[in-house]
Amino acid sequence: MTDHALRQTVLLMTDATRWDMLGCYRDTGVATPRLDQLAASGMRFERAYTTQPVCAPARSALFTGTWPHTNGTWSNNLAPGLDVPTLGQRLRDAGVAAAYIGKWHLDGTDYFGNGRCPDGWDPAHWYDMRTYLEELTEDERVASRDPATVDGIDVEPQFTYAHRCTERALDFIRENSDRDFLLVVSYDEPHDPGITPPEYAAKYRDYVFPHDDNVLDTLVGKPEHQQVWAGPRLMEDRSGGYERRDRHYFASQEFVDGQLGRVLDAIDEQTPDALVIYTSDHGDMLGSHRLRAKGSAMYDEIARVPLLVRLPGVTEPGGVGAHPVSHIDVAPTVMEHLGLPVPAFLQGRSLAPALADPAVRVSDAVFVEFGRYEVDHDGFGGFQPMRGVTDGRYKLVVNLLSDDELYDLVGDPGEMVNLIAVPEYAGVRDLLHDRLLEWQNATRDPFRGYYWERRPWRTDARTATWEHDGMTRQRPDDPGYQPRLLDYVTGLEMTEPVRQK
């Protein structure tokens, strides 16, 4: 038994859950009672953002504490670089147990993973999607990937990935309740194919997700690549109404909410003082702006995510954090809670001050990026470099190969009117742009360059030069994982990582 107060963290995730699918954010008719209870017993962040609205890049930031452009996972089917430790490695090296159960998507192979436990995480509890599929017969594998399965057979909870992940999570909590640990439970649900017991799908057979005015967006004045993304939907006549139906998706959200509830019950019974975090990697457009799924946009439908946090004795029940925060802040929050130093190499800030006082603003602005949807697929627009920033009121998006965007999130929460060229907003636009360029420099964005500054609307942009800022921006120190970097000119240890070249 440990001789100090236990420091335990459970990070719960679902895949493709929109922020407004939870009842604690918006009453849509999708039942999420257990997540709503978590919000009521802890804190809800009103404006939390993913780092990139695609599975693997989003996860790379959560589990390395670095931006996708820093760790190398700027697309699905790419893995973080060998010089970027994961939370599992950092905690293992500090003597803290770390287990990962569920969808990983960070080994550089495919959607399901390679079935091998990554370094640092407990192999006794490792369980990715390939591991699940290998438990099934070939016929069962095919059935597990076909939404029609719900209508063809009587699916038992035990058949689903969510249930099997939950069972393993309960085992871990029971076996480790007397020690410090990080447990990640990463569900694939409600991501398609949305396999659930039939009563869930039946409940949502006639369900329609509430109408938002931005499903009528004609994308006039919006980026060209979004118009290409919309395709035939751009010409649809939606004046007579537009219904958003996807019974497997919504049913799967309710089903996984129940599975999350089973884990929350175990936490309450066996590790009641644990830090509990719930989030999703990204959302889903669901027809808003005539777009589907997720991709190269910073619309709230896909970039804004649910984030619920409970830390007994710290978070006030029912607390609401109104200021914007980011997934990049999760890793330093976990490390600080576990009593470990947060290395300078991590690029976020601990949310601890905001957990104690929701009025505290951890960051002046948060950022979202995009590189490519998936290396293996030729679709999804290919390479679409995007960098975006929001201060909570305004949102600026620079689409390097397309057109840029500015939205007033208070006056235009549906993000219908692009203000990028409106003179009255030039001041706030340019200030956000300056923040974006500073962030690219601070995070050593490998795609940075004069072209991000020289946008058509930025009339005071500097003249393009090959040297641009002319700075060297070496990697910050990461004690225990990389030696201090050397100065190229002298061969001696660098004194300042950022200096004139």
pLDDT per position as a tens digit, 320-378: 999 999 999 999 999 999 999 999 999 999 999 999 999 999 999 999 999 999 999 89
Q: Which two tokens stand for residue 489?
A: 């000119």
The count of C-alpha atoms lying within 13 angstroms of the C-alpha of 81, restricted to the half-sphere facing its C-beta, is 13
Q: Which of 55, 165, 248, 289 is catalytic?
A: 55
Backbone angles phi, psi at 486, to 5 degrees: -105, 150
pLDDT given at position 362: 97
160: which 2 tokens? 């689903």
User: Does residue 1 have a pLDDT over 90?
Assistant: no
| Confidence class for position 241, pLDDT limits 50, 70, 90 | confident
Distance of CA 336 to the CA centre of its chain: 20
| Mean pLDDT computed over 300-316 | 98
Band (pLDDT 50/70/90 cuts) for residue 3 is low
pLDDT in the model for residue 2: 52
Mean pLDDT of 175-200: 97
The model carries a pTM of 0.97
How many angstroms separate the CA atoms of 245 and 201, rounded? Answer: 12
State how far the Cα of 198 lies from the Cα of 365, in Å rounded to an integer. Answer: 44
- Residues 91, 71: Cα–Cα separation, whole Å: 18
- Which pLDDT value is given to residue 240? 85
Does the pLDDT at position 150 exceed 70? yes
Give residue 145's pLDDT: 97
Average pLDDT for 245-268: 98
Mean of the pLDDT values across residues 71-84?
97
- Give burial (CB, 10 Å; 0-12/13-18/19+) of 120: middle
Cβ–Cβ under 8 Å, residues 127 and 164: yes
Whole-number CA gyration radius for the chain:
22
Report how far residue 422's alpha carbon sits from residue 412's, in angstroms, rounded to the nearest whole number.
14
Q: Which two tokens stand for residue 369?
A: 């990026």
DSSP 329: G
Residues contacting residue 254 through CB under 8 Å, at least 6 positions apart: 30, 31, 32, 200, 203, 204
- What residues contact 218, with CB distance under 8 A and at least 6 apart? 234, 290
Cα separation of 81 and 72, whole Å? 6
Give me 11's structure tokens.
């990070």
How far is CA 106 from its chain centroid?
13
* Tokens standing for residue 98: 């770390």
Contact 149, 251 (CB under 8 A): no
Helices (H), 286-425: 300-303, 330-337, 352-356
Q: Which residues pair with 182 in a beta bridge?
A: 9, 98
Per-residue pLDDT, 4? 73
Strands (E), 35-132: 43-45, 48-49, 97-102
Distances (CA, A) of 291 to 214, 297, 414: 10, 10, 14
In a 10 Å sphere around its CB, with 0-12 CB exposed, 13-18 middle and 19+ buried, how is residue 462 labelled? exposed
Residue 95 has what pLDDT? 97
Residue 141 has a CB neighbour count (10 Å cut-off) of: 15
Across the range 41-62, mean pLDDT stands at: 98
User: Cα(68)–Cα(387) distance, rounded to whole angstroms?
Assistant: 12
Contact predicate 305/19, CB 8 Å: yes
Q: What is the DSSP letter of 436?
A: H
Q: What percent of the chain has pLDDT over 70?
A: 99
Cβ contact 315:309 at 8 Å: yes
Two tokens at 108? 């550089």
- How far is 209 from 60, CA to CA, in rounded Å? 30
- Residue of 69, 105, 248, 282 marked catalytic: 105
Q: What are the pLDDT digits (tens) for 86-113?
A: 999 999 999 999 999 999 999 999 999 9
Average pLDDT over residues 22-27: 98
pLDDT mean over 488-492? 95
> Closest Cα partner for 16 from 137, 188, 145?
188
Instruction: Encode pLDDT of 151-181 as tens digits.
Output: 999 999 999 999 999 999 999 999 999 999 9
Our answer to whether residue 55 is catalytic in this structure is yes
Please state whether beta strands 405-408 and 394-399 pair in parallel, antiparallel, or not at all (unpaired): antiparallel
Q: Please give the DSSP secondary-structure letter assigned to residue 207.
A: -
Q: Which domains does the chain show, CATH number per domain? A: 8-363 (3.40.720.10), 369-468 (3.30.1120.10), 470-501 (no CATH)
Q: Is 468 a catalytic residue?
A: no
Per-residue pLDDT for 380 more than 60? Answer: yes
User: pLDDT of 197-210, one tens digit each?
Assistant: 999 999 999 999 99
Sheet of 405-408, strand order: 366-372, 383-390, 394-399, 405-408
Provide the pLDDT for residue 239. 87
Question: Rounded to an integer, what distance in angstroms lies between the CA atom of residue 383 and that of residue 54?
Answer: 13
Q: At what angle do helices 161-176 and 247-270 cross, to 10 degrees?
A: 10
How many other C-beta atoms can be found within 10 angstroms of the C-beta atom of residue 249?
Answer: 25
Query: Among 149-153, 266-270, 409-413, whose mean pLDDT is lowest?
Result: 149-153
Give the per-residue pLDDT at 129. Answer: 97
Average pLDDT, the chain: 97
